């Protein structure tokens, strides 16, 4: 082939077209249009709103459908300016178990699996300004259930509110489990039936957090709380 | 007139013919291995964060349940990243002077969101939902790798469509009893780094490659029936592309 025919084959025009085609093939790999769509997912950033977040907080006093919380007993634990001493719904065994589950997630890091205030934080934070409370005091055993509900909802002292993370129903179930814990740590052997006394040395059956070192407690445990064991070690 | 094709052209033809085969092949293999390499997928590459938050420390050493922070994972599609309020429920009391926690304190006091860098992501045209997976006994680590061992969070799986489908076609391979979704983290923590775990439990808790044993798979297939999972429709396109 002579030089001239080669030149004719690769005219500038043709080269440009070829480059255009090749770059089209490259661009075909960059399909961002569907990958990043103009829609907002939860917690996504946004440069449109002043606070930089795509999710909008509801306008003050918004009531979501079906969430008009008129039942003071259920949603505040306070009726006529007094803490209620009754649960807003009947507590069955599975409610206490649900309460145990939620308690172990949200409360046990500070209050300990047994509610004795010896959770991981209490053991780690050597210089805590306020020690987590134990539930096994005369004062708290006498407190109405509404008080515990209120503390979970609004926090107390150094404790923050857990209202965002624990739904009202679950808060009541946690309270029912706290009652079970209080009973378990404050019963005498004689309070149990003969049959229950026989079960004391059996292995606890609950799924609960096994007590960490230093969490061991003498005395009876779960059996007193309506056949409901929590996973503390026995003696 | 001189010869149009010289004999040496034969070699040239052969070479160019084989190049025509090899070059596209190499391109395909090369490009797809780039696609699947950590360079592209970011798998097992720890991400920088505004606060050096450690899952090893909080989830394993301190034994905090995943739901303490990712509180919506059981009930919504989105697992949720904890607000600084959650961090401060402990850090208003402990490690209050740590300079590492300054961004958290500032965010809490001034009420401006802390911006974490996203580790796991599916494209916007894919619909994903956590709650259904948790409800059917898929452990977090099947999809995220050994989270409770990560100092800085990294991505455990590339989230290719083929990977989702591998499970959706036969979920029995991977699903486990529901109470193990969170129970296994506790078991791992209590068994001093997995000493008492079975082989497949260990592979799930401590490595990025879960290897379910034969028995686990057999149990999983029974659970598929028990949980009423409709495997026939689970790999239909509309499940994930809606």
ipTM score assigned to the predicted complex? 0.83
**Residue A187's pLDDT is what?**
81
Q: Measured between CB atoms, which of A45, A109, A164 is closest to B68? A: A109
- pLDDT exceeds cutoff 50 at A143: yes
- Domains of chain A, by residue range, sit at 3-29, 72-224
Q: Is the pLDDT of residue B234 over 90?
A: yes
Least confident of A29-38, B48-57, B71-80, B154-163: A29-38
Sign of the Cα torsion A68, A72, A74, A78 reads positive
Q: A22, A43, A164: which to substitute to probe chain B, counting the most B Cβ within 10 Å?
A: A43
Q: Which of B160, B140, B168, B171 is nearest to B233 (CA)?
A: B168
d(C-alpha B230, C-alpha B223), whole Å = 12
Q: Are B104 and A143 in contact (CB under 8 A)?
A: no
Q: Which residues of A touch B4 (CB under 8 A)?
A: none
Per residue in B38-90, pLDDT tens? 777 778 888 889 999 999 999 998 999 999 999 999 999 999 899 999 999 99
Q: Is the pLDDT of residue A228 over 70?
A: no
Alpha-helical segments (H) within chain B: 9-36, 38-41, 55, 66-69, 84-91, 102-110, 130-135, 140-144, 161-169, 180-190, 199-206, 214-226, 231-234, 237-240
**Contact (CB<8Å) A159/B89:** yes
Contact B90 A158 (CB under 8 A): no
Q: Spell out which residues of chain A touch residue B183, defining contact as CB-CB under 8 Å.
A: 207
In the predicted structure, residue B183 carries a pLDDT above the cut 80: yes
CATH code of the region A72-224 = 1.10.760.10
What pLDDT is stored for residue B198 in this prediction? 86
Residues of A with CB under 8 A from a CB of B: 34-37, 39, 41-43, 45, 51-53, 104-106, 109-110, 120-121, 124-125, 128-130, 158-160, 162, 164-165, 207, 209-210
* Minimal-distance CA residue of chain A relative to B67: A105
Query: Residue B199: is its pLDDT beyond 70?
Result: yes
Residue B93 C-alpha, separation from nearest chain A C-alpha, in angstroms: 6
Predicted confidence (pLDDT) per residue in A119-137, tens digit: 888 888 756 667 888 999 9
Enumerate the residues of chain B whose CB falls inside 8 A of the CB of residue A41.
78, 124
Distance from CA of A188 to the nearest CA of B (A): 31
pLDDT tops 80 at residue A71: yes
Q: What is the pTM of this model?
A: 0.86
Q: Report whether pLDDT(A176) > 90.
A: yes
Instruction: Please return the burial class of B126, using the count of CB atoms within 10 Å of its CB with bins 0-12, 13-18 and 19+.
Output: middle
Q: What is the pLDDT of residue B194?
A: 63
Secondary-structure percent of chain B, ordered helix, strand, coil, rounded to 5: 55, 0, 45
Give chain B positions within 8 Å (CB) of A120: 62-64
Of these ranges, A23-27, B24-28, B153-157, the one predicted with the greatest mean pLDDT is B153-157
CA B82 to chain centroid, in Å, comes to 18
More confident residue, A214 or B208: B208
- Count of Cβ atoms closer than 10 Å to residue B190 Cβ: 13
Q: Which residues of B touch A158 (CB under 8 A)?
A: 92-93
- Residue A154 CB burial class (10 angstroms; 0-12, 13-18, ≥19): middle
| Interchain CB distance below 8 Å, A37 and B67 | no
**Inter-chain contact B65–A105, Cβ cutoff 8 Å?**
yes
DSSP B235: T
Q: What token pair was written down for A117?
A: 């205030």
Chain B residues with CB under 8 Å of A124 CB are: 62, 94
Torsion angle of the four alpha carbons A72, A74, A79, A82, in this order, in degrees rounded to the nearest 10: -130
Question: How high does pLDDT run on average in chain A?
Answer: 79
Contacts of B93 in chain A (CB under 8 A): 121, 125, 128-130, 158
Residues in chain A: 235
- The two structure tokens encoding residue B234: 């689970």
Cβ neighbours of A105 in B, within 8 Å? 65, 67-68
In this complex, the residue of B81, B89, B93 whose CB is nearest that of residue A128 is B93
Torsion of CA A216, A219, A223, A229, to 10 degrees: 0
């Amino acid at each position: 082939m002579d030089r001239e025919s080669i030149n004719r084959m690769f005219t500038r025009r043709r080269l440009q077209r070829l480059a255009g085609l090749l770059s089209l093939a490259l661009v075909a790999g960059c399909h961002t249009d569907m990958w990043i769509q103009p829609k907002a997912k939860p917690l996504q950033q946004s440069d449109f709103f002043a606070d930089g977040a795509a999710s909008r907080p509801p306008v003050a006093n918004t009531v979501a459908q079906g969430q008009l919380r008129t039942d003071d007993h259920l949603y505040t634990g306070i009726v006529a300016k007094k803490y209620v001493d009754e649960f807003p719904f009947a507590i069955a065994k599975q409610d206490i178990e649900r309460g145990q589950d939620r308690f172990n997630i949200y409360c046990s890091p500070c209050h300990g699996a047994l509610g004795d205030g010896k959770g991981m934080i209490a053991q780690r934070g050597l210089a805590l300004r306020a020690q987590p409370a134990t539930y096994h005091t005369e004062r708290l055993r006498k407190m109405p259930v509404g008080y515990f509900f209120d503390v979970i909802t609004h926090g107390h002292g150094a404790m923050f509110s857990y209202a965002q993370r624990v739904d009202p129903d679950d808060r009541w179930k946690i309270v029912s489990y706290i009652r079970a814990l209080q009973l378990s740590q404050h019963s005498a052997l004689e309070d149990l039936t003969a049959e229950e006394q026989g079960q004391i040395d059996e292995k606890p059956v609950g799924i609960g957090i096994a007590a960490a070192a230093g969490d061991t407690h003498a005395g009876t445990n779960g059996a007193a709380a309506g056949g409901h064991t929590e996973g503390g070690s026995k003696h | 007139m001189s010869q149009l094709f010289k004999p040496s052209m034969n070699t040239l033809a052969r070479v160019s013919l084989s190049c025509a085969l090899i070059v596209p092949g190499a391109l395909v293999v090369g490009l797809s291995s780039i696609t699947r390499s950590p360079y592209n997928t970011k798998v097992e590459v720890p991400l920088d964060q505004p606060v050096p938050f450690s899952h090893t420390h909080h989830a394993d050493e301190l034994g905090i349940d995943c739901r303490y922070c990712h509180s919506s994972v059981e009930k919504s599609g989105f697992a949720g990243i904890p607000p600084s309020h959650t961090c401060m429920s402990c850090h208003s009391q402990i490690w209050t002077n740590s300079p590492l926690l300054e961004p958290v304190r500032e965010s809490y006091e001034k009420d401006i969101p802390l911006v974490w860098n996203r580790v796991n992501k599916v494209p916007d045209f894919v619909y994903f939902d956590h709650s259904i997976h948790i409800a059917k006994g898929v452990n977090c680590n099947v999809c995220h790798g050994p989270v409770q061992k990560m100092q800085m969070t990294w991505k455990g799986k590339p989230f290719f469509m083929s990977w989702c489908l591998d499970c959706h076609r036969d979920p029995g391979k991977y699903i486990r009893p529901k109470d193990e979704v969170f129970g296994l983290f506790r078991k791992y923590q209590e068994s001093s780094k997995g000493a008492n775990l079975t082989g497949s439990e260990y592979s799930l808790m401590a490595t990025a490659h879960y290897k379910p044993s034969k028995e686990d798979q057999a149990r999983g297939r029974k659970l598929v029936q028990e949980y009423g999972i409709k495997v026939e429709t689970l790999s239909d396109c509309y499940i994930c592309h809606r």
